[in-house]
Amino acid sequence: MSQLLEVSDLNRHFGSGKYQVSAVKDVSFKLNPGEIVAVVGESGSGKSTLARIVLRLLAPSSGNISFMGQDVASLSTTDYWRQVQAVFQDPYAAFNQFYSVKQVLQKALGLKKLNTQERRERMENSLNAVGLAPATVLGKYPHQLSGGQRQRVMMARALMLRPKLLIADEPTSALDASLRVSILNLLKDIRQEYGMSILFITHDIGQAYYLCDRMLVMYQGEMVEQGSVEEIVRQSQHPYTQRLLADVPKLH
Ligand code: ADP
Ligand code: MG
């Protein structure tokens, strides 16, 4: 077993009869330990549906997922979520508005068996890792933080559990352009420091190029192309990928 994650023939449809939408069609891919892999595609291509299935927030219509060589259906979600964590597009929506940063982080640590001292260290280390000063932010509530700070808190929360896989679904989309690069750099640092794998979901192939080792391209629910970022940028095979690339003149 060398793969961290293996997704096989995943399908998910919504609705039925003539109203049926196939959001994910026969998607298969593998993720190695420590790899950052992008899922790239335009809005509606099935990226979030795929992410939610891999996170086990949504059941697939058919297909299999194995994590560290085990069928995830045989793992409890509690065990799974100790190892697979996520950050989403809108960090404000992911926050409970009545919880301070400290409460948010403490609640996440509920999944771990740690004493008070260890809990405090975990919280402080994770906040430091995402570039936030614990003393400054622990007592704050979401409305007292900037969008960039909220996304960093969400990352700190995910990191506290020392997951083996982080799923980041458009984590920079709600942020100003000036903050995007800093969040991408943070993801790079996190991979370096924690050695985790990241499944990075984006509609922006430029971000995938900047951050990732490999790319999976989704189009209307299908995975139309996958390969190393270099391969895809230099010689993409699929016209849809070429169209995405054409939108990023800098890459050429
Ligand atoms: P993306 O994240 O790439 O924008 P999504 O996975 O959100 O794409 O959506 C893929 C398709 O599945 C879209 O056509 C969307 O409307 C549909 N879809 C997603 N979630 C649901 C749902 N809960 N009910 C019905 N259709 C859905
Ligand atoms: Mg989405």
Q: Is 21 in the pocket of ligand 1 (CB under 6 A)?
A: yes
Cα(42) to centroid of ligand 1, in Å? 12
**Tens of pLDDT along 166-206?**
999 999 988 888 888 888 998 999 999 889 999 999 999 99
Q: Which residues have CB less than 5 Å away from ligand 2 (the ion)?
A: 47-48
**Tens of pLDDT along 29-70?**
999 999 999 999 999 999 999 999 999 999 999 999 999 999
Contact indicator for 161, 106 with CB cutoff of 8 Å: no
How far CA 169 is from CA of 32, 79, 124, 142, 166, in Å, comes to 19, 21, 25, 20, 10
Work out the pLDDT band at 111, boundaries 50, 70, 90: low
- The DSSP letter of residue 110 is T
Statement: residue 252 has pLDDT above 70: no
Q: Which residue's structure tokens are 């298969």?
A: 28
How many C-beta neighbours within 10 Å does residue 88 have?
19
